[in-house]
Chain A
Amino acid sequence: MKILVLGEHHDGKVKDSTLATLGAAAALGGEVDLLLPDSAAPAAADDAKSIAGVSKVLVAADSALDHELAETVAPLLARLMEGYDVLLASSTTTGRNIAPRVAALLDVMQISDIISVEGPDTFTRPIYAGNAIATVRSNDAKKVITVRGTAFTKAERGAGSATVEQVEAGVTNDRSSFVSMEASESERPELTSAKIIVSGGRALGSSDTFHQLIDPLADKLGAAVGASRAAVDAGYAPNDYQVGQTGKIVAPELYIAIGISGAIQHLAGMKDSKVIVAINKDEEAPIFQVADVGLVGDLFKVVPELTEKL
């Protein structure tokens, strides 16, 4: 089996999400090549070639691929797939944007967001906001798959010795163009790869109290900050903090849910965390049904006290 992995990179490094996707490739078995698109790809090639399990790093250093627009990356992948059996992409917004476009170009069904590999053509994936797990078998000759990063062991750096090969992009795109990117500033760990996450909900009441209470606790723990959809919709935290079915899926060692009731859509994003701690004044809140440790109390008193005592 020959597997092509769509690599994502930033600042000369392959992203953690891609390392996890390479972990899924290892579970599938076979020869694994990693594609790095865009004009910054050569800078990440050194990092990529040291990753365990990668045979070849394909560098497509063409500015036409910059910003990973689906209209350019998908046709390149579709062309490269002539030589591969499986395409794996991460379930990031980049992977989810591009992979289905490739699948349609290849006339195959995509298997979205897999959480395990059960066989060469059989996978499990969550449906209904993680309330059910489906085992699916693909009858397509070529497979296009997106991978839930939190479900797989990340491939390690340092043990690999891949060869690096340049590939022609050979794409044109008159349908779309990049205009701008407004990045959220954060010095904290990235949400999807953080070991500890402190997450706040609507009960925090305002953007000011959200940051006054959540940020110091997160900083004390070296944690990333997350939020429920309610907190994001109310404007207490930016969109990309959102944990849930429609936001990010996380599975840290420790998840501290503060003032979050635990709606289905939120639980879908965090219930695979190793230890869940809930702080909520409503002892009937559904979050307590999944929490390992629960504390019923007023978060405005409890959180500062917790921050101080840690």
Chain B
Amino acid sequence: MTDTAAAALALGDDALVLSHRLGEWAGHAPVLEEEVALANIALDLLGQARVLLSMAGDEDELAYLREERAFRNTQLVEQPNGDFAHTIARQLFFSTYQLLLHTQLAATDSPFAPLAAKAVKEVAYHQDHAEQWTLRLGDGTDESHARMQRAVDALWRFTGELFQPVPALPVDWQKIQETWTARVTDVLGRAGLAVPAGPQTGAWSAGAGRQGLHTESFGRMLAEMQHLHRSHPGASW
């Protein structure tokens, strides 16, 4: 596999898996407006995933016929939805990263530039949505503050992986990490939330997901996602 295809897979898997997680919210959101918003974000991400996976091969083969160890998404995006605060914390961390990454990519002459130019517009909306909710929950009631802090703390150790350089992406990873840290610190501060003191990676090295090492819930997610497609080999839908 070429470096470009490998990079397309990494970014495509991030978008595909996070889109799937957001799709699980349909019919369960706390308010109708969030049914619309979460589905909207999920759709944007799925659209990105389809473009990216198609750069690496056949989108459906890649989505439905690879096993867990072949997926290259970061562990952050596969984390279960948890409560609304967990979903928002995951969105804040990921959308801030995606916005910085795609803003840089859009300005390059890499094959990812056209996708990145389109994605930046979508992701800016996702980042705004996550930021607004982080402020509301962090600076809302005592309960929402506590839940938001727990969510930020729980997901913090998955954020380091985001800055593991992906070969073939001509971006300044250190700059992305610095800007990400500054922005997330700013949002958390305005929400009255503490930036977690713990490490941004777990005991396993950063980049585990990118190497196909995932967390336990991911296999179950794939089982559900792939079941129907795998039950009808060769069928078209």
A and B from one complex? no
